[in-house]
Amino acid sequence: MPDSLVFFEAVLEPGGPSFMPMPIAIVPRSVVEALGGPAVRRVVGQLNGHPIRLGLQPIRTGERYLMLNKELCKTAGVQLGQCVRFHLAPDPTPEYIELPAELEEGLAAWPEAQESFEKLTGSMKRAVANHITEAKRTETRTARIMQLLERLVRGGHPFRKL
């Protein structure tokens, strides 16, 4: 983790897009500026001592917010209305996406799918990786990967039925 961390506290409040409500933490303008300004879109650091790697989502006021998914809240032991501590730094590798091993294998075995996958935006690749890793059962993960690969090969959207 980088040496120059920016510290701030925030109260977790309800937010996120309407299709994906989850706790958010407002990142004040002063913190956004200390991180490097609006150009910084992803951060690494800690939430109450737990490692995080998150995207800074924009707000029209110039502030940003961090979305905290259910798993992160559970791991960090935090909930809505609670005051939490953040130590953040700009992500040194903002384009990095941790792909599930099964997805990597599938893409390697199907070059046409790999080619289409590489054309996706970073946020779409991240959404695909999250969709796969959220599945608890091996059968569900495998089914999601096969569906995704078929959609990619046919030039379709990763989440829309063909």
For 10-36, write each residue's pLDDT tens digit.
999 998 877 778 999 999 999 999 999
Nearest by Cα to 126 from 100, 149, 107: 100
When pLDDT is cut at 50, 70 and 90, the band that residue 146 belongs to is very high
Q: How many distinct structural domains can be found in the chain?
A: 2
Q: What's the confidence (pLDDT) of residue 25?
A: 97
Asked if residue 145 is part of any domain, the answer here is: yes
Q: What's the confidence (pLDDT) of residue 114?
A: 94
Q: Has residue 2 got a pLDDT over 60?
A: no
Asked if residue 43 is part of any domain, the answer here is: yes
Q: Are residues 149 and 106 in contact, defined by beta-carbon separation less than 8 angstroms?
A: yes
Question: What does DSSP assign to residue 5?
Answer: -
Enter the tokens of residue 99. 């792909």
Type of residue numbered 66: L
25, 44: one domain: yes
> Of 40, 62, 90, at which residue does a domain stop?
90
113, 85: one domain: no
For 63-106, write each residue's pLDDT tens digit.
899 999 888 999 999 999 999 999 999 999 888 888 999 999 99
When pLDDT is cut at 50, 70 and 90, the band that residue 157 belongs to is confident
52, 124: one domain: no
When pLDDT is cut at 50, 70 and 90, the band that residue 3 belongs to is low
Nearest by Cα to 86 from 58, 66, 60, 107: 66
65, 107: one domain: no
> Domain residues for 140?
101-153
The CATH number covering residue 37 comes to 2.40.30.100
Asked if residue 22 is part of any domain, the answer here is: yes
Q: What's the confidence (pLDDT) of residue 18?
A: 77
Q: Are residues 154 and 160 in contact, defined by beta-carbon separation less than 8 angstroms?
A: no
pLDDT above 90 covers a percentage of the chain that reads 71
Asked if residue 45 is part of any domain, the answer here is: yes
DSSP E strand stretches across the chain: 6-11, 13-15, 22-27, 42-47, 50-55, 57-58, 64-67, 83-90
107, 85: one domain: no
> Of 57, 90, 123, at which residue does a domain stop?
90
Quote the CA–CA distance of 105 and 100 in Å, as a whole number. 9
Asked if residue 80 is part of any domain, the answer here is: yes
84, 137: one domain: no
117, 147: one domain: yes
**What does the pLDDT average to over 143-159?**
92
Asked if residue 122 is part of any domain, the answer here is: yes
Q: Has residue 155 got a pLDDT over 80?
A: yes
66, 114: one domain: no
Asked if residue 41 is part of any domain, the answer here is: yes
Enter the tokens of residue 101. 């091993």
Q: Give me the torsion for CA of 49, 55, 58, 61, rounded to 10°.
A: 20
